[in-house]
């Protein structure tokens, strides 16, 4: 009887961590990077392809007519400066080593314009099925700005 009480109490405490999840405070509208760039669409597409290859990104889809390029999610250790994946009990999930994260890009290339949207995803894996969870993440624009500068340098 005593063991049952201890196990019930322990289960309630452990499941409480999942209940304390606070979603990201950053709004999705803040993370779309659209900047003018002095280059034609064809030259920009080549610069984007070159930059993605040099950064170790894998292109999932490319449509040169529409200028849309998407990348495969790449495993990347995100930090709170790069993305917001929420908090538990006031602590950022991205600071926890049990959080695995990935990042991918959606890029729209037009004449004299480049639009980049980052897509962070993360999983919090403690090891117990009742505590493991997929996190909702929002990019803060740091990686998108770095990619834009790299593309500009590769023109």
Could you tell me the pLDDT band of residue 4, with boundaries at 50, 70 and 90?
A: very low
A 10 A CB-CB count for 95 gives 10
Angle at alpha carbon of residue 123, lines to 122 and 124, rounded to 5°: 125
Distance (Å) of CA 136 to CA 33, 52, 65, 93, 129: 20, 25, 32, 11, 18
Query: What local confidence, expressed as pLDDT, does residue 9 receive?
Result: 45
**DSSP 3-state assignment of 28?**
helix
Mean pLDDT of the chain: 87
Contact 148, 47 (CB under 8 A): no
DSSP letter string, 2-24: HHHHHHHHHHHHHHHHHHTEE--
Q: How do beta strands 83-84 and 138-139 pair?
A: antiparallel
- 67-122, pLDDT tens digit by residue? 999 999 999 999 999 999 999 888 999 999 999 999 999 999 999 999 999 999 99
Report field, pTM of the whole predicted structure over 0.85: no
Phi, psi (rounded to 5 degrees) for 15 = -70, -20
Residue 23 pLDDT > 90: no
Instruction: Report, as an integer, the average pLDDT of 22-42.
Output: 82
Q: Sketch out the chain's domains with CATH numbers.
A: 2-153 (3.30.530.50)
3-state secondary structure of 144: helix
In terms of Cα–Cα distance, which of 116, 135, 138, 114 is closest to 125?
135
SS3 call for 30: helix
* Cα–Cα dist 72/24, whole Å: 23
């Amino acid at each position: 009887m005593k063991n049952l009480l201890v196990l019930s109490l322990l289960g309630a405490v452990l499941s409480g961590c999942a209940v304390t999840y606070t979603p990201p405070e950053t709004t999705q509208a803040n993370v779309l990077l659209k900047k003018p760039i002095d280059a034609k669409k064809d030259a920009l597409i080549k610069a984007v392809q070159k930059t993605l290859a040099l950064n170790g990104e894998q292109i999932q889809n490319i449509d040169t007519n529409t200028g849309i390029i998407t990348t495969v999610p790449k495993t990347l250790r995100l930090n709170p400066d790069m993305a917001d994946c929420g908090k538990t009990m006031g602590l950022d999930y991205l600071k926890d080593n049990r959080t695995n994260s990935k990042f991918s890009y959606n890029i729209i290339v037009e004449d004299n314009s480049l639009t980049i949207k980052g897509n962070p995803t993360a999983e919090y894996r403690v090891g117990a099925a009742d505590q493991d969870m997929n996190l909702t993440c929002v990019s803060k624009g740091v990686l998108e700005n770095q990619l834009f500068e790299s593309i500009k340098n590769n023109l």
